[in-house]
Amino acid sequence: MLLSDYVKYDATGLADLVKRREVRPQELLDTAMAAVEAVNGPLNAVVATFEDEASRFVREELTEGPFAGVPFLLKDLTAHYAGQPTGAGWPPRASVRPADDSELVRRFKKAGLVIFGKTAVPELAMDWTTRSRAHGVTSNPWDTGKTAGTSSGGTAAAVAAGIVPMGHGNDGGGSIRVPASCCGLFGMKPTRGRNPVAPAGSTWQGMLVEHALTRSVRDSAALLDATSGLYRGQFFNAPEGGQFSGDVDRDPGRLRVGVSTRAPYGATTHEDCKAAVAETVRLLESLGHICEPYDIDLPDDGWDAFETFILAEYATDMRLEADVIGRPLTAADFPPMLWDMIEAGNQITAVDVNVATTRLHRVAAAVTSAFDRYDVVLSPTLAQPPLPHAAFPEATSMRGHYEFYLSWMPYTHIFNINGSPAMSVPLSWNADALPIGVQFAAAPAAEGLLFRLAGQLETARPWADRRPPISIA
């Protein structure tokens, strides 16, 4: 299959070609591998491939799921493919090969996806751009001097460049939505517990959720249909029911939209990001929706509580990683700032964590109360357009690290705290031809509403044909 033909189809379209026997799954896999060869060099998006294993899967295990034969990439974090390393951008993990698939990967396979590689992540997902000692820096296909976002930046760059029509991502504070915004993609963060977290348990007490970055809305909805559902290995499960694919073509009705460009906890928002929201408001009003200014009033101590919670969770993660690696971890295993975070987390007591969690419940209450008044809340996805690689400091203090987070991606984490679904939608590009995403959030378990709105916006202002300078066609 020619790359110029391959890139015309979303995942649903490729699956339909397979179903009609117009293309074979192995042919699609060969084409995806050719796409890696064609564009991955300047991007550094795909950090590992396992073509032989993917071909074996096609021959021996491929099911007739909704995406039968469609090539797919896993973010190199949390989602384990048996026998293949899950490296997390961290040198000590390079040789760790999980014996079993994680539950999410089992569901991807059941859906018929042909997984053939892994995408770049920041080292242990704790940097605000996608770079690591293990794999270096990942670049944005719209401008290789700019970030692809964090922490699903490798997946975002691969999907935007056409290597695959969709790929795995996860989101603990914006890591689906942020790279979707940077790379001009659709990025849905589902409700807490909607998809199984991997490999088991409730990562970050359910704040981290699993899904994908896609070029089309219908792919995101159909994949969520295929993977969502109760999983006994976690504390949090979203309500069962609903067919999200059916929502994409449904009229969302006349929505009440609360609009904010005031970033949580005082960050300055770039004029390009404000302009993208203003442009979206005009589009929404032309579609009959009601838009009103609205800022969520958050507790003053909410950010400090989030920091405390994440530091404790991160130190916990590293305690568990020592068991995986099979030896105690030391400062030599980490960049200095990450070691500082681990040391700080180890000083936090159980009481400190419970106090922080109680305060985060107040944040969740403030966020969720917005949906008593509005159907959806609109904001920028990011406080700034995609930044140059050099804007991200190589070495900084732990305090500087978190201050940079707030200056760059302050709008996203609050919807991880309250568990709401939230999506970044690629409706705007700035004068530098860089994508500027806008974020919509809805009440917990209201993905159907967001998919209805996203489908309407995609029809009104299509984005699928916009191609970055680094693309397979």
pLDDT at 407: 97
**Do the bridges between strand 46-49 and strand 143-147 make them parallel or antiparallel, or are there none, so unpaired?**
unpaired
Query: What CATH number has the domain spanning 3-460?
Result: 3.90.1300.10
Strand partners, 306: none
Give pTM, 2 decimals: 0.98
Query: Does residue 197 sit in helix, strand or coil?
Result: coil
Other CB atoms within 10 A of residue 439 CB: 28
Active site residues: 75, 151, 175
> How many CA atoms within 13 Å lie on the side-chain side of 403?
6
User: Where does 216-359 show beta strands of DSSP type E?
Assistant: 256-259, 290-293
CB 388 within 8 A of CB 145: yes
Phi-psi label, residue 144: left if phi above 0, alpha if psi -120 to 50, beta otherwise: alpha
Identify the CA nearest to 412 among candidates 373, 438, 376: 438
Each domain of the chain, given as residue ranges in start order, spans 3-460
End-to-end CA distance of the chain: 13
DSSP-derived 3-state class of residue 368: helix
Q: Is the peptide bond before 199 cis (omega within 30 degrees of 0)?
A: yes
Q: Distance between CA 447 and CA 221 in Å, rounded?
A: 9
Q: Provide the edge-to-edge strand list for the sheet that holds 46-49.
A: 46-49, 114-119, 71-75
Per-residue pLDDT of the chain (473 residues; tens, 9 = 90+): 999 999 999 999 999 999 999 999 999 999 999 999 999 999 999 999 999 999 999 999 998 999 999 999 999 999 999 999 999 999 999 988 999 999 999 999 999 999 999 999 999 999 999 999 999 999 999 999 999 999 999 999 999 999 999 999 999 999 999 999 999 999 999 999 999 986 765 678 889 999 999 999 999 999 999 999 999 888 888 888 779 999 999 999 999 999 999 999 989 999 999 999 999 999 999 999 999 999 999 999 999 999 999 999 999 999 999 999 999 999 999 999 999 999 999 999 999 999 999 999 999 999 999 999 999 999 999 999 999 999 999 888 999 999 999 999 999 999 999 999 999 999 999 999 999 999 999 999 999 999 999 999 999 999 999 999 999 98
Retrieve residue 122's tokens: 């920041």
Q: What is the DSSP letter of 99?
A: S
